[in-house]
């Protein structure tokens, strides 16, 4: 039986590669030693010689190589299944290659907590209901309700998002994707039993128009939005924002952060009652819902963006 190489063998190679300036190979042999004996003191000397900054760069590159290998393995395994095809591969590549916007790693958790809150409030029987998913993005939220028997209209402004949603949910009964302009009157979309207004108010300029349209189209509206810390019922902070990602403002490069009081006042003027759900179970790595108002006009607290969640109902 062949004797496996010793730690001394790998350390000797590491020092040799280091002397020749091949830092990547030096690190590779250090990692071989660490995998066998993490406490070997000789490794520290080599890593110190490589240097902290260069170590960071080398490890980052190695992690990127590992991630790329995992992507290729996942894609190959997925496409090997007889029920998948080229279109499925294209959809998968969005998730494997794009870590931004709606494809950021933080999004699935945020979708999950909001869906769980919705089911807690409304139950899970959506059969026969007509639902509008407003500013639907990739269409995931509305698609879940279509899977529960609802007739869902996913209204989205960005063409690339509509294309993705239409392709991904092409075979889902009761699900359709339509274009709309959130800065204009969109009541022509019709009447609905429920409107999902999730993450939409924050990416438009004319919040009042959206709320007015919702009031003409449904008597139940779920609202989740970024807000500013203010109790002023007239307060809306607006500012220019980039449109680089597929979940950023589309119309006019303007982001809006209304006060919670503004949202409640405007819906209240249309006859809605605000049912607050400012609970900790909605919190994620980036968002906080159960914060205490201080009228600071801030948009963040301890590094997390301020949000609020309501069910708006009208008798």
Residue 73 to residues 23, 63, 70, 84, 104: CA-CA distances in angstroms?
28, 15, 5, 15, 20
CA 167, distance to chain mean position in Å, is 19
Rg of the chain on CA atoms, in Å? 26
| Of the candidates 169, 165, 221, 212, the residue with the CA atom closest to the CA atom of residue 192 | 221
Are 13 and 32 in contact by the 8 Å Cβ rule? The answer is: no
Q: Is the pLDDT of residue 315 over 80?
A: yes
Q: What pLDDT, on the 0 to 100 scale, is given for residue 307? A: 98
Mean pLDDT of the chain: 87
Output the DSSP codes for 234-268: T-EEEEE----STTS--STTEEEEE-HHHHHHHHH
Q: In the structure encoding, which two tokens stand for residue 93, read together?
A: 């590549």
Question: Pairing state of beta strands 175-179 and 151-156?
Answer: parallel
Q: Is the pLDDT of residue 2 over 60?
A: no
What is the percent of the chain with per-residue pLDDT over 90, rounded to a whole number?
Answer: 58
Q: In the structure encoding, which two tokens stand for residue 178, read together?
A: 């339509």
| Of the candidates 168, 224, 172, the residue with the CA atom closest to the CA atom of residue 198 | 224
- Which residues are bridge partners to 133 per DSSP? 154, 196
pTM over 0.75: yes
Are 173 and 146 in contact by the 8 Å Cβ rule? The answer is: yes
Q: Which of 84-93, 129-138, 300-309 has the lowest mean pLDDT?
A: 84-93
- Top-confidence residue, 97 or 312: 312
Q: In the structure encoding, which two tokens stand for residue 57, read together?
A: 């760069």
Q: Is the pLDDT of residue 234 over 90?
A: yes
Q: What pLDDT, on the 0 to 100 scale, is given for residue 55? A: 65
Largest CA distance in the chain: 84
| Of the candidates 235, 215, 233, 231, the residue with the CA atom closest to the CA atom of residue 223 | 215
Confidence of residue 12 (pLDDT cuts 50, 70, 90): confident
- Top-confidence residue, 105 or 278: 278
Q: Is the pLDDT of residue 255 over 60?
A: yes
Q: pLDDT tens-digit profile of 147-201?
A: 999 999 999 999 999 999 999 999 999 999 999 999 999 999 999 999 999 999 9
Taking residues 88-117, report their average pLDDT: 84
What is the percent of the chain with per-residue pLDDT over 70, rounded to a whole number?
Answer: 90
Question: Pairing state of beta strands 300-301 and 304-313?
Answer: antiparallel
Q: What region, left, alpha or beta, does residue 36 occupy, with left being phi > 0 and alpha being psi -120 to 50 degrees?
A: alpha
Q: What pLDDT, on the 0 to 100 scale, is given for residue 19? A: 82
d(C-alpha 308, C-alpha 263), whole Å: 10
Q: pLDDT tens-digit profile of 208-227?
A: 999 999 999 999 999 999 99
Q: What region, left, alpha or beta, does residue 279 occupy, with left being phi > 0 and alpha being psi -120 to 50 degrees?
A: beta
Q: In the structure encoding, which two tokens stand for residue 109, read together?
A: 């958790």
Question: Residue 160: what are its φ and ψ, rounded to 5°?
Answer: -65, -35
Are 138 and 197 in contact by the 8 Å Cβ rule? The answer is: no
SS3 137: coil
Segments in the chain forming alpha helices (H):
7-19, 23-36, 42-50, 52-80, 86-97, 107-122, 140-147, 159-168, 207-217, 260-269
Question: Residue 100: what are its φ and ψ, rounded to 5°?
Answer: -160, 160
Taking residues 85-95, report their average pLDDT: 80
SS3 43: helix
Q: Which of 54-63, 113-122, 198-207 has the lowest mean pLDDT?
A: 54-63
């Amino acid at each position: 039986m062949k004797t496996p190489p010793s730690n001394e063998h790998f350390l000797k190679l590491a020092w040799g590669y280091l002397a020749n300036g091949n830092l990547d190979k030096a690190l590779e042999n250090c990692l071989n030693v660490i995998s066998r004996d993490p406490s070997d003191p000789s490794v520290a000397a080599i890593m110190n010689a490589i240097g902290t900054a260069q170590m960071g760069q080398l490890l980052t590159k190695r992690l990127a190589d590992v991630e790329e290998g995992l992507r290729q393995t996942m894609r190959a395994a997925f496409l090997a299944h007889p029920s998948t095809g080229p279109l499925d591969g294209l959809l998968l590549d969005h998730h494997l290659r794009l870590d931004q916007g709606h494809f950021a790693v933080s999004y699935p958790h945020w979708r999950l907590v909001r869906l769980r809150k919705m089911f807690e409030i409304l139950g899970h029987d959506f059969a026969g209901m007509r639902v509008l998913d407003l500013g639907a993005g990739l269409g995931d939220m509305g698609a879940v309700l279509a899977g529960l028997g609802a007739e869902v209209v996913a209204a989205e402004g960005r063409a690339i998002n509509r294309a993705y949603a239409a392709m991904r949910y092409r075979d889902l009964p009761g699900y359709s994707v339509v274009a709309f302009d959130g800065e204009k009157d969109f009541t022509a979309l019709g009447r609905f039993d429920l409107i999902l207004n999730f993450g939409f108010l924050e990416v438009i300029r004319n919040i009042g128009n959206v709320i007015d349209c919702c009031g003409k189209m449904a008597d139940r509206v779920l609202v989740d939005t970024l807000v500013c810390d203010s109790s002023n019922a007239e307060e809306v902070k607006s500012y220019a924002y980039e449109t680089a990602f597929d979940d950023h403002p589309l119309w006019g490069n303007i982001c809006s952060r209304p006060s919670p009081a503004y949202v409640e006042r405007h819906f209240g003027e249309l006859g809605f009652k605000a049912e607050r759900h400012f609970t900790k179970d909605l919190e994620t790595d980036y968002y906080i819902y159960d914060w205490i108002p201080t009228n600071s006009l801030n948009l963040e607290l301890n590094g997390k963006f301020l949000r609020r969640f309501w069910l708006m109902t009208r008798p």
